[in-house]
Amino acid sequence: MNLILIYITNPNKKTAQKIARHLLKKRLIACGNIHKTDSLYWWEGKIVEKGEHILICKTVVKNYDKIKKEVEKIHPYEIPCVIKIEARANSEYIKWLTEKV
Q: What residue spans define the domains of the chain?
A: 3-100
Q: Confirm if 55 and 36 have CB atoms less than 8 A apart.
A: no
| pLDDT band of 99, cuts 50, 70, 90 | very high
Q: Given 3.40.50.2300, 3.40.1190.20, 3.30.70.120, 3.20.20.480, which CATH number is that of 3-100?
A: 3.30.70.120
Is the per-residue pLDDT at 18 higher than 70? yes
Is the per-residue pLDDT at 1 higher than 90? no
**From CA 11, how far away is CA 34, in angstroms rounded?**
12
pTM of the model: 0.94
User: DSSP secondary structure string, 53-84?
Assistant: EEEEEEEEGGGHHHHHHHHHHH--SSS--EEE
**From CA 24, how far away is CA 40, in angstroms rounded?**
29
**From CA 98, how far away is CA 48, in angstroms rounded?**
38
| pLDDT band of 9, cuts 50, 70, 90 | very high
Q: How far is CA 14 from CA 9, 18, 29, in A?
A: 12, 6, 18
- Structure confidence by residue, pLDDT tens digits, 61-90: 999 999 999 999 999 999 999 999 999 999
What local confidence, expressed as pLDDT, does residue 76 receive? Answer: 98
Q: What is the mean pLDDT of the chain?
A: 97
Residue 34: enclosing H or E segment and its boundaries? strand 31-43
